[in-house]
Structure 1
Amino acid sequence: MQNTEIAALALMAAFISPALAQDSGVSFSHKNWELACDNTNTCRAAGYANEDEPSVSNGSVLVTRIAGPGTAPVGEVTLADYESSDSAPVTKLTLWINGKAAGVLKPAGEGFWHLSTSQTLALIGAIKGSGKVEFKGGPAPFVLSGDGATATLLKMDDVQGRIGTPGALSKKGDKPESSVPAAIPAPVIQAVKVDKAQERPLTAPEIAVLTPKLLATLQPDDCDRMQSPQDNEGASEEGITLTPLGNGHALIAAVCWRAAYNEGYGYWVIDSALQQAPVLVTNSGSGYDEGTISMGQKGRGLGDCWATASWVWDGTAFRQSNEATTGMCRLIHAGGTWDLPTFVADVKPAR
């Protein structure tokens, strides 16, 4: 990932800062590997090919491990199709380690395969050292880079409290496996059905009264199209809308910022009479539908990497239900490579 792409995704992560968010997980990257651990301490490590080797196929490996003692890492692999959509599909993929075949992989949907536990552990053992890991079956082998793997797997062990235990992926030891902390339960959100109502533009008098209250919830540069309309062409003509939520609550929406290939909306909860102080949910939303605010922002214009988030209405507030990226910007799949959450929740559907 180029520095500009890292900065873009880091900026998106900064936007995902709702007033009612709970603690998120951990993100880490080093060279050709990255890690995302969510708030339950499930960790996902993704590895990629070296970008300076054009003679090999592109792809990525994902190693997922649930928190808690005795859990095994689970491996997946995908081959890139971003620049080769007209190529014949790969029907058989084989893992090779240090020049020796290590078994055929199990298909898991178009362009994706599962590794067995033994294959996953063999792959991890190779990439931590100087071993060569290849996946053969496509027009050219996908060679997995080991650059950054050791640091990333060590970070995974650290987050999950496995360092020094027999089950550690990096630094094994004789500490009992029972010392590994259990998984943290995901927060539960009971979604509430919202009124079926159309959004409406606020009137000029309503905007005059409400705008200072909205601005008071913002940090500098959070919402420059509202905070500095004089510096943003057309910002002063952009309206602010209200959507009823039911039970005396309403949702306010306004354009906060626009960039080359992204834009962010601010969303606030307020009482229907517009008398109380509004509560900011996010300043980078992408849309609202039937009780859910969603966010999807590209890491770059090619659309091969994204940051996403969502918030669900529980009757009194929008609770964060997800926060994730799709991994590094590596031209693997349009729309992103993996789902790498740093925050998850158990959302109970509205009754």
Structure 2
Amino acid sequence: MIRRDRRAARGKTSVTGALRRRRGTPVWLSLLWRVGLVLALIGIALAGHWFDRGGLRDNIDGHISFADVLYFTMITITTVGYGDIVPVTEQARLFDTFVVTPIRLFVWLIFLGTAYDFLLRRVWDGWRMRMIQQRLRGHTIVTGFGTSGSEAVAELIRRGADPATIVVIDERAAAVELAERLGVNVLQGDASRNATLDAVQVARAKAVIVSAGRDDTSILIVLTARGLAPGVPLSVVIRSEDNEPLARQAGATTVINPASFAGLLLAGSTHGEHLADYIADLAAHVGRVALHERDVTPAEVGQPLSALNTGLGVRLHRRGAAIGFWEAGARRLETGDRIVEIVPTERLP
């Protein structure tokens, strides 16, 4: 029985992170790589100056020590030098021209790039993600990145969905990190809260998939999402058959019970070895056939469902009622009908 009060969804924000997308390289690895590159470049300049120290002249005491070479190298790389130590031979000057000068430029570029990456880029990324958040439209929101949620995201990507059009919400940091590796947008927070769903623009979403792992939590998320987005399709995973009517009452468009569906496949397999195989073929992206749902076209109005030339019509939905292909209502298609048909996978739009 659902015991949680829907009013809990009206509380203050419980978003524990910003909407983000995975970066290509970890921050620590990028920083370590840059420090190593700078040290390597300095080492090349230092070695060249040391082995050709005879081409340098110290205008202070006339003696070139290792400390003088280290000082000259660092000053030359970071500035243009102070004139206290100067190259006097042609070989030393050519080394400074064609080796040290490019090294100086590379080191400065690395410093500027690091400042941008770790300071300016953070500000830029924050602004950019806020812009992405504001412009989210026609995206798919997946609340809960457990077994069902992760499979749903993977299947969406296999079906050609751009990961940038998918938003995953989960309270667990580990789950959010796993989702981020797929390139999708992620938000760590409680999806049953208004503020969390508002942050991912649920009202402008294409669809919402709810798979929180617990029926009470999933139904609470459905209640919250339906209140914020009355017209968005909501699909929810419910594990107890007793809670399926509650999920529908909460506003779920589609209620899926994994245990019941598995039971249907198992029972169907006892009446024919190919039944379960065909159902799996329909459901999988890699199958030969697929179910496709669409609106009736003006050219099809007045024709029977069986006359479709795009696929095999199996059902239509008219004013909230489901009509099978064998029923009288399927003998004449009407404007506003929603058709469910079986089509070859290669014909999918």
TM-score by length of 1: 0.18
Structure with bigger gyration radius: 2
Greater strand share, structure number: 1
Q: Which has the higher contact order (CA 8 A, sep 6+)?
A: 1
TM-score by length of 2: 0.18
Greater helix share, structure number: 2
